[in-house]
Amino acid sequence: MKDLKHLYYFEKLLEDANNDLVRQAKAEGRLALGYTCYHMPEVLLNLDGCFSVRLRAPRTGSMEIATYYMSNATCEYARALLERGLEGGYKFLDAMAGVDVCECMNRGMENMELLGVSDPEKKGFFWCNLDSPCSDDEDCVAHLREQLSRKILKPLYENYGIDVSDAAIRKAVERHNEICRLITEIGNFRKLDNPTITGYEFHILTLATYVCPKDLVVEKLRETLEELKTREPDPKKKFRAKVVVVGSEIDDPELISLIEDSGALVVADRFCYGSFPGRQEIVLTEDEDALTQVCRNYLQTTLCVRHCAQHKVQKRLDFAAELARDYHADGIIYEQIKFCTYWSYERALASHVMHNEYNIPTLSIDRPYMSRTSGQLRTRVQAFVESIEIKKIKAKKNREVK
């Protein structure tokens, strides 16, 4: 396929947390608010006058200092963020909106605060460690609402004078929804028999929407969507199988590239920093205040493995199977970043259930934060692709015999 016109532009934006668009927005006087997790409602960090930056640590090398503070048996994502923070990579931020959702991120955030990774010159800077509920009933909604009001909206208003009114939240939701509509429409091209967008390209676009001010990427996204409407696919399919990737956070597009180089086109993404969930519209009514509705939306749409009630576990399994069906995938890759406690349980269970009960070929992998050089991973994915191909050939032969 011909290269997407703006792909290089979007790739460049992912090379540094403090990228060109972040710097542009900061120069305009807006506040950059760092966050790490879906459980921090991104939309509330995008009120007029501020914008969200979901933190990444691109080009991570040694994590010795973070390992000293957190030990080597902790999630590399949390350690990479701490290391980058200690290197001074997040000094551009005006607040850090953390969530107490897992032990590793909790420790990472606590260390960042104690070790002073923020800019001391920023007098309005505030740290937040939000207590996010593990379920979605109305008590949980009320609890989350209280936490967000006190730990995010109040300091935004008091420290920086940001308008946190109901009208301001509704306006932020509208902006958020526009990005979601574009990403959804772009993602739908992955349902084609011969998709006109690769998983790598889609992940680049999606990631850009997490790490840049929304209003500054929207025009290029619109142009990309128009380009995709007429983009010619490769005459001969370059992939040998289609897969859904399900699992813990992936903010390294090189992992998707590695999977696709091994023959498996990634047609759907159910992982943190992906589009499911995260890039679906938030529908607000006039019957209730916007903040409560936002809280309910995030709690009900989350597919996070820390929600461990049985109906939530079942919902996640069904959703993965639905994605495989809707996007015509041949299999599912369950991935987990090393030392992620929640996903180590979910991956073991789900990969078994998917294979044995849903009859969907499943590959289960664990991986480091940066995995581009892993020969073992390439071999595993390629062998998985080959096994899918062989199953298809056998099924075809069986049909011919009948």
Partner 1 sequence: MKYFGGCDVGSTYTKCVILDEAGKMVSDVTIRSRINSEISAKEALDQAVAKVDGLSGIGDLAYLIGTGYGRNKVPQAQENISEISCHAMGVHVVDPTVKAIIDIGGQDVKGIAIDQDGTVLNFAMNDKCAAGTGRFFEAMARAFECTLDEFSELSLSAKNVIPITAQCTVFAESEVITLVGEGKPRDEIAAGIQQSVAKRCFVMAKKAGAKDHITLTGGCAKNKGLKAAIENVLRIKVTELPVDPQLMGALGAAEYARQKGMEQE
Task: Assess 366 for contact with partner 1 (CB under 8 A).
Answer: yes
Which one, 25 or 365, has the nearer CB to partner 1? 365
Q: Which of 370, 367, 330, 365 is nearest to 351 (CA)?
A: 365
Residues 22, 32: contact at Cβ < 8 Å? yes
Which one, 20 or 254, has the nearer CB to partner 1? 254
Task: Assess 387 for contact with partner 1 (CB under 8 A).
Answer: yes
Binder among 192, 309, 390, 395 for partner 1 (CB under 8 A): 390
CB of 380 to partner 1, least distance (A): 6
**For 68-76, which contacts have Cβ atoms below 8 Å and span 24 or more sequence positions?**
69/111, 69/115, 70/104, 70/107, 70/108, 70/111, 73/339, 74/103, 74/104, 74/107, 74/108, 74/339, 75/102, 75/104, 75/105, 75/337, 75/338, 75/339, 75/340, 76/337, 76/338, 76/339, 76/368, 76/369
Helix or strand or coil: residue 99? Answer: strand
Q: Pick the piece of the chain touching partner 1 (CB under 8 A) from 90-98, 223-231, 284-292, 373-381.
A: 373-381
**For residue 183, how far is the Cα from the chain centroid?**
13
Task: Assess 348 for contact with partner 1 (CB under 8 A).
Answer: no
Which one, 248 or 297, has the nearer CB to partner 1? 248
Which one, 132 or 248, has the nearer CB to partner 1? 248
Task: Assess 383 for contact with partner 1 (CB under 8 A).
Answer: yes
Task: Assess 356 for contact with partner 1 (CB under 8 A).
Answer: no
Tokens of 387: 């096994």
Which one, 188 or 341, has the nearer CB to partner 1? 341
Tokens of 228: 């995709």
User: What whole-number distance in Å separates Cα of residue 230 and Cα of residue 196?
Assistant: 9
Q: Pick the piece of the chain touching partner 1 (CB under 8 A) from 28-36, 87-95, 291-299, 360-368.
A: 360-368
Which one, 111 or 362, has the nearer CB to partner 1? 362
Task: Assess 344 for contact with partner 1 (CB under 8 A).
Answer: no
CB of 387 to partner 1, least distance (A): 5
Q: Which of 301, 293, 302 is nearest to 148 (CA)?
A: 293
Amino acid at site 50: C
Binding-site size, partner 1 (CB under 8 A): 15
Binding mask 61-100 for partner 1 (x = CB under 8 A): ----------------------------------------
Q: Pick the piece of the chain touching partner 1 (CB under 8 A) from 173-181, 295-303, 305-313, 375-383.
A: 375-383
Which one, 308 or 348, has the nearer CB to partner 1? 348
User: What whole-number distance in Å separates Cα of residue 71 and Cα of residue 373?
Assistant: 23
Binder among 181, 322, 374, 392 for partner 1 (CB under 8 A): 374
CB of 240 to partner 1, least distance (A): 11
**In the β-sheet with 126-130, what is the strand arrangement from edge to edge?**
50-54, 31-35, 95-99, 126-130
Cis peptide before 213 (omega within 30 of 0): no
Binder among 55, 368, 369, 370 for partner 1 (CB under 8 A): 368
Task: Assess 309 for contact with partner 1 (CB under 8 A).
Answer: no
Residues linked to residue 268 through DSSP beta bridges, in sequence order: 244
Listed in sequence order, the residues at least 6 apart from 333 whose beta carbon sits closer than 8 Å to its beta carbon are 243, 244, 245, 246, 247, 259, 264, 362, 363, 364, 365, 381, 384
Task: Assess 106 for contact with partner 1 (CB under 8 A).
Answer: no
Binder among 375, 398, 400, 402 for partner 1 (CB under 8 A): 375
Q: Following CA atoms 23, 38, 335, 256 in sequence, which dihedral angle do they give, to the nearest 10 degrees?
A: -30
Binder among 143, 181, 372, 380 for partner 1 (CB under 8 A): 380
Binding site for partner 1 (CB under 8 A): 366-368, 374-377, 379-380, 382-383, 386-387, 390, 394
